[in-house]
Amino acid sequence: MLIEDVATDLTLEQHPMVVEVRHYLARGYLLRGSRGFGQRNGYHSIDMFTLGPNGTLQNLITIKLDGACKHGWPIPA
C-alpha cells in the first residue's frame, strides 16, 4: 500500500514524536482532536490527556516535534 511505503521510506516508526506519542497512548492517554474553531493546529505538537471522574480532562501534556513532553496546556473557557 502506498501509505505504508511512504511511512517506511520516512522511517516514521523511529521518529521521536511518534515514539513518544505511542508511549503515552499505551499508558491510556488520548489525543486532543481539535483546539477549537478558528484555532491554529500545526503539525509540530500533539496535545494529549487522560480522562478523570465525570469525563474531566486530566494529565494534560503536549508532545513536541523533537519528542519532548510539556506538561499542561490551557483549556478554553
Residue 62: partners with Cβ closer than 8 Å, 6 or more residues away: 45, 46, 47, 48, 69, 70, 73
Report yes or no on 39 lying in a domain. Answer: yes
Report yes or no on 30 lying in a domain. Answer: yes
Report yes or no on 9 lying in a domain. Answer: yes
Domain that holds residue 54: 2-71
Specify the number of domains making up the chain.
1
Report yes or no on 76 lying in a domain. Answer: no
Report yes or no on 77 lying in a domain. Answer: no
**Which of 50, 48, 44 has its CA nearest to residue 15?**
44
Report yes or no on 56 lying in a domain. Answer: yes
pLDDT in tens, the chain (77 residues): 567 787 777 787 888 999 999 999 999 999 987 666 666 666 788 899 999 989 888 999 999 999 999 998 766 54
CA distance linking residue 47 with residue 70, whole number of Å: 9
Report yes or no on 44 lying in a domain. Answer: yes
Q: What is the pTM of this model?
A: 0.75
Report yes or no on 12 lying in a domain. Answer: yes
The CA distances from residue 30 to 5, 33, 46, 53, 59, in Å, are: 27, 9, 10, 15, 10
